[in-house]
Amino acid sequence: MDKLRSANSQGEKVLVGFSGGPSSRAMLQLLSDYNEVLPNERSKKPLFSEVLVCHIDESPIFNLDDSDDHDVILNQIEQIAQNYNYPFIGLRIDDIYSPDYTSSGAYNKVLEVTLDKSSPQEIDELNAKICQQETSTKKKLHLLLDGVSKLTVKEDLVWHLKQCLLINTARKNGCTKLLLGDCSTRLSIKIISFTSKGRGFSLPLDISGLNPWFGDVTILRPMKDTLSKEIGIYNKFQGFETTIIKSLTTMMPPKASIDRLTEEFVVKLERDFPSTVSTISRTAAKLTPSELIDSDNHCVICLMPFQKDNKIWQSRITVMTTPSSSTMIKTQDSTSEYSSKNSSTCSRAATCCSSDCCTSKDHNINNLTDLLCYACRVNMRDIKGITLPPYVTEDVEKRNGRENLKKSIHDIFIDGKLIIGWFNSIDLIIKCLIADGSFLVLPSDVMKFIKTINEKDKEAYGFLVTYYAFTERSFEAIERHFTVLENDIVKLIKNIEKTINKRNFRKLKIEKNENIDEYIAAIKKRKKGLKEAIEIKDRKIMEHEITIEAK
């Protein structure tokens, strides 16, 4: 029964996702059996050096009044973990809204998404804006779930939040493995439902016993070859009392959601044809992740990879406006002036809303749909207006930043010898340094470069920043080593500054909101642009304050 051996890990720290249900209960027992080293086996090393048990409390989803009852369940779950002497981490599902679960660890903006029905495009556009909300995490979660009408979408969202919580918790605690208790029955249900929801592209990862997608945290599913029935019997004979965790579909009829319906389908088939489950899961296990999978194309909500340009594909295969419905709209338009009035007020409201956003440092995100996978985009069609947690917002902002950086570098490209580009933060400079013309720059190259700068103080060596050098790979490389390099970069910049000062460069400042394009045009007009140097003085001048040489 124990398939934990599949991992060739030695002395690693693992996080166990423990829901309290039968499958994870059995998994915990098997794990402890397997990991145990008896006193007479001194040469044997435990497979995992440390086991952490993490439970995510889903009760905030429901407005539970009988909190006493609920505390009992939580205590039971904690007690189980303590029986094994494993450290217990208790989380609540709404914790996803706290800034601790973003990659920077301090980001608390949420992404407000509303559906834009006004655009006549085939795919509904999403209006999204980043803003700060001061409500409690629990309220934010309710805002998210109340904004969704379909149960299927709710279930999906809850699962994405849970997965993100687990992965981040594993990262924070330095765990390299995350164990999930998906049993074979559950997996075959997932296979069918994920396929029907349009998650085929990431399916091989979602169901594999070993999912390396998240890089530093590998997801293992040790129970993947065990039937839920076997687990039930195992638990019965071990005398385990499993706790009952209410989920969204508990006590719901079979047609409540896609997941629930698939469950019904698979389980019914399994009764008449006993090998259904293993047939499904074994067939799907033969799937391998597509070669097109690329870490840059991941969905900001579910974190799973998606196929590039899937939006185009979606618009090709989807018929959103049928002829009959469009005529209906026309008649509606002609009959009611009210609606047009209404829409004009709407648009006015929208503009003043957006100006409000500018003043309050909220940003509107236009290309959210490009950052979603097909399944999540389909889900988004069902929303009325939701607030997505900070981890999504952070990712969206990061990705947009990347796009903008690429664009701005392209715009400002002047073949000169000094740093050229539009920098608004120190890490962008690093990225520019990294991309000094070669396609893949390793952090060691940057170090070397910085050293040469330091030695030859007389002259600040310039480098050409080319648009094409900004491969995503170099971004990734530098991001990983950012903290190591920061000081060196500051030093480097000071050196450049010194040199520039020696040469009596005239300084020219750009105000924060000045249009960068006009500025560049102005430089180009002067025709002396080739030797212009744009330079950042220090961290404080990140707000686009740029010094320029003009002879």
Partner 1 sequence: MSSLIKVNLTFSGGVELLFNNIKQKIIEIPSTINPPKPTTMKDLILWIKDNLLQERSELFVSGNTVRPGILVLINDTDWELEGELEYEIKDNDEIVFISTLHGG
Per DSSP, the three-state class of 482 is: helix
Nearer to partner 1, 248 or 378 (CB): 248
Nearer to partner 1, 226 or 474 (CB): 226
Nearer to partner 1, 245 or 542 (CB): 245
- Nearest approach in angstroms of CB 272 to partner 1 is 9
Verify binding: residue 267, partner 1, rule CB under 8 A. Answer: yes
Nearer to partner 1, 102 or 249 (CB): 249
Beta bridge partners of residue 294, listed in sequence order: none
Task: Tell me how long the chain is.
Answer: 551
Q: Annotate each residue in 226-265 with x if it binds partner 1 (CB under 8 A) or - if it does not, as one string.
A: --xx-xxx-xxx---xx-xx-x-xxxxx------x--xx-
Per DSSP, the three-state class of 127 is: strand
Nearer to partner 1, 268 or 282 (CB): 268
Q: Which helix (H) or strand (E) holds 126?
A: strand 125-132
Q: Judged by CB under 8 A, which of 8, 106, 120, 271 binds partner 1?
A: 271
- Nearest approach in angstroms of CB 193 to partner 1 is 12
Nearer to partner 1, 134 or 241 (CB): 241
Task: Kindly calculate the radius of gyration of the chain based on its CA atoms and give it in whole angstroms.
Answer: 28
Nearer to partner 1, 252 or 292 (CB): 252
- Nearest approach in angstroms of CB 152 to partner 1 is 13
Q: Judged by CB under 8 A, which of 44, 172, 255, 268 binds partner 1?
A: 268
- Nearest approach in angstroms of CB 231 to partner 1 is 7
Site for partner 1 in 171-230 (CB under 8 A): 185, 228-229
AA letter at 255:
K
Q: How far is residue 357's CA from residue 431's CA, in Å, rounded to a whole number?
A: 29
The contacts of residue 249 (CB under 8 Å, 6+ apart) are 151, 155, 256, 257, 259, 260
DSSP 383: B
Verify binding: residue 1, partner 1, rule CB under 8 A. Answer: no
- Are the C-beta atoms of residues 17 and 52 closer than 8 Å to each other? no
Exposure on the CB side of residue 532, measured as CA atoms within 13 A: 25
Q: How far is residue 168's CA from residue 170's CA, in Å, rounded to a whole number?
A: 5
How many whole angstroms from its chain centre is CA 17?
19
For the residues of 41-67, what is the DSSP string, one character each? Answer: -TT---SEEEEEEEEEE-GGGS--S-H
Verify binding: residue 348, partner 1, rule CB under 8 A. Answer: no
- Nearest approach in angstroms of CB 264 to partner 1 is 7
- Nearest approach in angstroms of CB 312 to partner 1 is 37
How many whole angstroms from its chain centre is CA 530?
41
- Nearest approach in angstroms of CB 275 to partner 1 is 14
Q: In what order do the strands lie in the sheet with 210-211?
A: 88-92, 48-57, 12-17, 177-179, 218-220, 210-211
Q: Judged by CB under 8 A, which of 182, 225, 270, 549 binds partner 1?
A: 270
Nearer to partner 1, 270 or 488 (CB): 270
- Nearest approach in angstroms of CB 87 to partner 1 is 26
Site for partner 1 in 472-531 (CB under 8 A): none
Beta bridge partners of residue 57, listed in sequence order: 92
Q: Judged by CB under 8 A, which of 7, 14, 17, 22 binds partner 1?
A: 22
Nearer to partner 1, 269 or 287 (CB): 269
Q: Annotate each residue in 279-298 with x if it binds partner 1 (CB under 8 A) or - if it does not, as one string.
A: --------------------
Q: Which helix (H) or strand (E) holds 342?
A: helix 337-359
- Nearest approach in angstroms of CB 249 to partner 1 is 6
**72 is written with which tokens?**
């009992």
Q: Which helix (H) or strand (E) holds 547?
A: strand 547-548
- Nearest approach in angstroms of CB 304 to partner 1 is 22
For the residues of 175-203, what is the DSSP string, one character each? Answer: -SEEE----HHHHHHHHHHHHHHT-TTTH
Site for partner 1 in 36-65 (CB under 8 A): none
Nearer to partner 1, 260 or 377 (CB): 260
How many other β-carbons are positioned within 10 Å of the β-carbon of residue 328? 11
- Nearest approach in angstroms of CB 262 to partner 1 is 10
- In 36-136, which ranges are continuous DSSP H helix? 67-83
**287 is written with which tokens?**
């799937």
AA letter at 190:
K
**233 is written with which tokens?**
């019997």
Q: How far is residue 288's CA from residue 200's CA, in Å, rounded to a whole number?
A: 11
Verify binding: residue 21, partner 1, rule CB under 8 A. Answer: yes
- Binding-site size for partner 1 (CB under 8 A) equals 28
Nearer to partner 1, 55 or 109 (CB): 55
Q: How far is residue 234's CA from residue 315's CA, in Å, rounded to a whole number?
A: 49
In whole angstroms, how far apart are CA 245 and each of 7, 152, 256? 29, 18, 18
- Nearest approach in angstroms of CB 227 to partner 1 is 8
Site for partner 1 in 376-435 (CB under 8 A): none
Nearer to partner 1, 129 or 197 (CB): 197
- Nearest approach in angstroms of CB 79 to partner 1 is 17
Nearer to partner 1, 275 or 321 (CB): 275
- Are the C-beta atoms of residues 112 and 385 closer than 8 Å to each other? yes
Nearer to partner 1, 218 or 235 (CB): 235
Verify binding: residue 17, partner 1, rule CB under 8 A. Answer: no
- Nearest approach in angstroms of CB 263 to partner 1 is 5
Site of interaction with partner 1 (CB under 8 A): 21-22, 185, 228-229, 231-233, 235-237, 241-242, 244-245, 247, 249-253, 260, 263-264, 267-268, 270-271
